[in-house]
Amino acid sequence: MAGALARGAEDVGVRTHRVGASGLEVSGLGLGTMTWGGDTDLHGAERLVARFVEAGGTLIDTAPAYGGGAAEKMIGRITRTHVRRDELVIATKAGFGLRNGRRTVDTSRKAMLDDLTGSLRRLHTDHVDLWQVHAWGRAPYEETLAALDTAVSSGMARYVGVCNYIGWQIGTAAAWQRAVPGRSGLVSGQVEYSLLARRAEVEVVPALAAHSMGLFAWSPIGRGVLTGKYRRGVPRDSRGAREHFSWFVEPYLESRSRAVVDAVTRAADGLGLAPAQVAMLWVRDAPGVTAPLLGARTVQQLEPYLDLDDTTLPEPIVSALDDVTGGPNQARSDRRTTAGTTD
């Protein structure tokens, strides 16, 4: 079965992709930093970024909420000591964080721009390459989006996007930005997407496609569950065993998820791959996806994903995984039909 894989003769590194219809280019794999400042210390982060950049990676996704700003500070330190700032595409966010110990969404103009000012200070840079609204908030969307315009016009952000928006929210925001010349068009949406979380296919993926926006998929390996390491319990060194992250993993430790993990593991065994690699490839090659965002905590966790550019899953495996996780991906089916028509 391993012979069914499409594989190049040598490791060519991580390729770059355009983000939607914009001029922004990013690596086809992004490095997430949610664990930085907690489970990943500065030394570990330095090693991660060095290896990532060595393999051709450019996209690093962060947020003020990650480690209470610690993740951004670590990136700022790394760009002064280990890699050049212009080697990275830095994406950060605004509008969500911990205030007085509580998770708070504040997407008002002042809160958004205050967040950006703080991000730039921690990152030790005069601009971010992609600035994203972290979540839909109670502030009028016109006010939130005006903050994005200010960020771009002032040079503090090169491009702007949204995170965790559902379909109608993406459509509303994107259409508003396109309605008047001079507003900053949204180039991307970031949402959870994996074999354990396919809801994005219903409305989010079509909305992004309709507005020529790219898709960044967070937790492409199902919050770590699709590695298979939770099949016989919760390992002591896993995120699921940590009090501050157990809530993040627990939703996928139920019977349906176990059945999906078993299917992914069987596919991986037949292909000579690790389950997590199969899960990542399924997301990476799904219609509309610009780049999966991998929250690796160590270089050892990152390494298996760095030489997959010339590896694709066989169509029968993709179809089988689609079936076991909810049915055909309509966009994938449409793409196959179109390809068959033009051949």
pLDDT of amino acid 328: 93
CB 274 within 8 A of CB 268: yes
- 223-267 residue pLDDT tens: 999 999 877 667 666 655 456 667 778 888 888 899 999 999 999
% of the chain surpassing 70 pLDDT: 90
The structural domain count of the chain equals 1
Averaged pLDDT of the chain = 91
- pLDDT average, residue stretch 15-35: 96
DSSP for 220-247 reads: TTGGGGGGSTTTTS--TTSGGGSTTTHH
Could you tell me which residues are beta bridge partners of residue 191?
217
Query: Looking at the predicted structure, is the pLDDT value of residue 209 above 80?
Result: yes
Burial class for 109, CB neighbours closer than 10 Å (0-12, 13-18, 19+) = middle
Q: Higher pLDDT residue, 337 or 201?
A: 201
User: Predicted confidence band at 40 (pLDDT cuts at 50, 70, 90)?
Assistant: very high
Domain that holds residue 210: 2-342
Here the tokens at position 44 are 């570990």
- Predicted confidence at residue 283, as pLDDT, reads 98
Q: What is the CATH number of the domain that holds 117?
A: 3.20.20.100
Q: What is the pLDDT of residues 326-343, one digit of tens each?
A: 999 988 877 766 666 555
Q: Is the pLDDT of residue 7 over 60?
A: no
What pLDDT is stored for residue 231 in this prediction?
78
pLDDT confidence band for 1 (50 / 70 / 90): very low
DSSP code per residue over 14-36? --EEE-TTSS-EEESSEEE-TTB
What integer pLDDT is reported at residue 230 of this predicted model? 78
pLDDT of residue 10: 41
First to last CA, the chain: 27
* Residue 16: per-residue pLDDT: 92
pLDDT at 15: 86
pLDDT score for 11: 44
State the catalytic residues: 66
The CB density around residue 56, as the number of other CB atoms within 10 Å, is 17
pTM (2 decimals)? 0.91
CA-angle at 29, arms to 282 and 81, nearest 5°: 155
d(CA 88, CA 56): 10
Mean pLDDT, residues 143-171: 98
